[in-house]
A = this chain, B = another copy of it.
């Protein structure tokens, strides 16, 4: 650091000089063997070591999203890319590339919803129930679908219940988890037929907010977690399958114009 203007490439995360690596100021050597991967993820993303409950909750989040089988688009894309004759890292990259707005994107959106409401406020003096009521009324009035509520596949996602139970048992959680749960309650009271329970994305969005993590890291947590699942899926493709997955002929169709002659110039 000097009077000069900052270099074009600068980072406050990791220093790597003369064979010594510091993560947020801590010597990597001291972290190896003393701290878990979840501890160091937290440190790296937030800048400080987690307390015990935070570390356990981050582990719970990462475990909850580690894999969801072969059917999601990310697994299909990763395996398809590998089957084109590519390397494991290229295929896993393709899986992570698939994790866009519609695939794990609700974590970020739910966390943003919560943080837009509470961030920087004195949560001790906020009536969470009233806040939830206001959010739900607004959503219903404007027919807005709230990220983090409802689920395509499961009417109740067991991962949500489990994450909240773990949080409770660790005495983890503050205003964000409270708000997330209150919104679901409010939906249940006002529109029971719509089935809009807090889903796993909403639960993670609330928990990460109570960890003090910026909502823009929502997708990041999902990527970190799912990287292992994608490595596993691609490794299995490598071991068990032949190259070149082509869509089976009965699964696709051409519905464009029929054959026609070239126009004469």
Contacts and interface: CB of A to CB of B under 8 A. Distances in A.
A50 to B, nearest CB: 11
Given A252-B9, A257-B24, A19 B155 contact: yes
B259 A25 contact: yes
Interface string A186-202: 00000000000000000
Given A11-B69, A85-B102, A28 B63 contact: yes
Contacts of A12: 236, 254-257
A246 B76 CA distance: 8
A232 B13 contact: yes
A80 B89 contact: no
Given A25-B259, A228-B44, A73 B38 contact: no
Interface string A29-71: 1111111111011001101010010001001101110111111
Contacts of A253: 1, 6-7, 9-11
Contacts of A219: 87-89
A72 interface: yes
A111 interface: no
Given A14-B68, A96-B93, A96-B96, A33 B60 contact: yes
Interface stretch (A114-122, A123-131, A159-167, A176-184): A159-167
B63 A81 contact: no
Nearest to A250: B7
Given A25-B257, A89-B96, A252-B9, A157 B32 contact: no
Contacts of A87: 86-87, 90, 100-101, 219
Interface residues of A, number: 138
B246 A71 contact: yes
Contact of A255 (B10, B96, B234, B261): B10
B233 A13 contact: yes
B235 A45 contact: yes
Contacts of A99: 84, 89
Given A8-B248, A37-B38, A101-B86, A259 B22 contact: yes
Contact of A63 (B32, B59, B239, B252): B32
10 contacts: A7-B252, A9-B247, A23-B67, A32-B163, A69-B252, A71-B247, A76-B76, A85-B100, A86-B87, A101-B243
